[in-house]
A = this chain, B = another copy of it.
Amino acid sequence: MDPIVETARSAKAASQLLRTLSGECRAAALNSMADKLISCKEELMAANAADLAAAPGLSDAFKKRLQITEKIFKYMVDRLQEAAALPDPVGKILEGRTMPSGLQVKRIAVPIGVIAIIYEARPNVTTDAAAVALKSGNAVILKGGSESLRTNRVLAAAMRQAAEDSGLPADAIQLIESTDHAVVGELLKQEEFIDLIIPRGGKNLIKAVSEGTRIPVLKHYDGICHLYAAEDADTDMTVSLTVNSKCQRVEVCNALETLLIDAKSAPRLLPAVAAALGEKGVELRGCAECCALLPGIKAASEEDWETEYLAPVLSIKIVHGIEEAMAHIARYGSGHTDGIITNSLSLSERFIAGVDSASVLVNASTRLSGGGDYGMGAVVGISTDRLHARGPVGPAELCSYKWVAVGSGQTRS
């Protein structure tokens, strides 16, 4: 049998066993995985160094994503332990009622089944994704980038061993080791065994996966995120939220790309914002009105408004009222994360109702639209889909549900 079919089939079998195990058992396995990671740290770091050494032609940015630094190692271990400590999403009664007939109806969270994650360089996705998937009782098939194969082998072996030691089927965690490009195509055909695919990476990867499969795909597209500083926006808060949204980490999907400033507050806000961003080395690109107020900055082109920079660059546009701000967001935004800075209740309510994004923020940094700051713990990413899961995808979002109805002989008339 094709090895990919065998992988998918054994993941399905593992998921059927996993579904019957307790949350306590799954939590113990996650803690055991964290321990195992610590005990095999030397081997892991050596494998990671070998991956880095084998890739001399790669860009510095790529190597940075591939490398497990001390900070990232700690983060990986923490995430496994955090996932273990989260409340069990499986078995949660999502709603329930007793009908006039006496039928007791409940909707209960259950695992989805088998989830395949297709991703690129970052090795921490290997542990993060496995942690969230297992927390919700799913088996996981991991297909990482070929450049991190040595690293991922050590991680997967450690997690499989820890799973087995805790009474979970080792096959609940599967790593696809083949670096042949055809294996992804083969994986996308396993609709009999795989229930969900999550591609983590660039637009092209996500597009190729979605177009090549009949399995449901949870998409994590661009974040072209906006902040709108309303006419009454506080100066200090606008500076602080803009700097944090743009600079706290530039290469992530919920970093700020465009600042919209109301014309009435622009003369007051723009100089302060520009000074603070200048200190952080952020390049500004403004609309014509903005350039008139901030002489010397680069003019923004049409392309700027539709670009996810993922870099220390910010486009700034002056808008005339909230409707123009919302129209700009509707036209150029990606429905990921958009916020307003205001002290006006009516303006904030208008913005919340009118902006159709996965996360709509009031007086908060766009960087907060993740799992941790929403109280969801570990997440596998931030979905830009409208179906099943929208926004941060944590353990609860990797669950399906079933209806349970208990009666005493009720029939339909």
A interface residues (Cβ-Cβ under 8 A, vs B): 16, 19-20, 97, 99, 101, 103, 105, 110, 112-113, 195-196, 210-211, 214, 216, 234, 237, 240-241, 244, 248, 330, 348, 352-354, 356-365, 367-369, 373-375, 385-388, 390-392, 400-413
Minimal beta-carbon separation of A209 from chain B (angstroms)? 11
Kindly list the 6 A-B residue pairs having the minimum CB-CB distance in the complex, ordered from nearest.
A364-B407, A244-B411, A367-B412, A388-B388, A386-B400, A362-B406
Chain B proximity of A201: nearest CB distance (Å): 18
Contact B113 A405 (CB under 8 A): no
Q: How far is the CB of A221 from chain B (nearest CB, A)?
A: 13
Cα(A364)–Cα(B406), bound, Å: 7
Which residue from B375, B401, B406 sits with its C-beta under 8 Å from A390? B401
Picked from B16, B101, B403, the residue with its CB within 8 Å of the CB of A391 is B403
Contact B402 A390 (CB under 8 A): yes
**In the bound complex, how far is the Cα of B386 from the Cα of A196, in angstroms?**
9
Q: A193 to chain B: closest CB distance in Å?
A: 13
Find A216's partner among B216, B348, B369, B390 (CB 8 Å cutoff).
B216
Known: A20-B354, A404-B352. A196 touches B103 (CB 8 A): no
Q: Report if A412-B365 is in contact (Cβ < 8 Å); known contacts: A352-B404, A390-B400.
A: yes
Contact B402 A364 (CB under 8 A): no
- Assess A356 versus B19: contact at CB under 8 Å? Given A369-B403, A390-B400: yes
Q: What is the bound-complex CA distance between A362 and B406, given in angstroms? A: 5
A405:B368 contact, CB within 8 angstroms:
yes
A386, B103: Cβ atoms closer than 8 Å? no
Chain B residues positioned under 8 Å from A357 (CB to CB): 402
Interface pair B405/A99, CB less than 8 Å apart: no
Q: Which residue of B lies closest to A365 (CB)?
A: B411
Residues of B within 8 A of A409 (CB): 234, 237, 240-241, 363-364
Could you say which of A195, A357, A364, A375 has the most chain B C-beta atoms within 10 Å of its C-beta? A364
A369 to B405 CA separation, bound complex (whole angstroms): 8
Shortest distance from the beta carbon of A188 to any chain B beta carbon, whole Å: 13
CA distance A174 to B376 in the complex (A): 39
With A359-B404, A392-B403 given, can you name 12 additional A-B contacts, CB distance below 8 Å?
A99-B374, A103-B364, A103-B368, A105-B375, A112-B387, A195-B387, A216-B216, A348-B406, A361-B406, A362-B404, A362-B406, A365-B411
Report which of B99, B408, B410 forms a contact with A375, defined as CB distance below 8 A.
B99
Contacts of A234 in B (CB 8 A): 409
Q: Are B411 and A367 in contact (CB under 8 A)?
A: yes
Some 29 contacts from A to B, beta carbons below 8 A apart, are: A16-B330, A19-B356, A20-B353, A97-B375, A99-B373, A99-B374, A103-B368, A105-B374, A112-B387, A196-B386, A210-B214, A237-B409, A240-B409, A240-B411, A241-B411, A358-B402, A361-B404, A361-B407, A362-B406, A364-B409, A364-B411, A367-B411, A367-B412, A368-B412, A369-B405, A374-B405, A390-B402, A390-B403, A391-B403
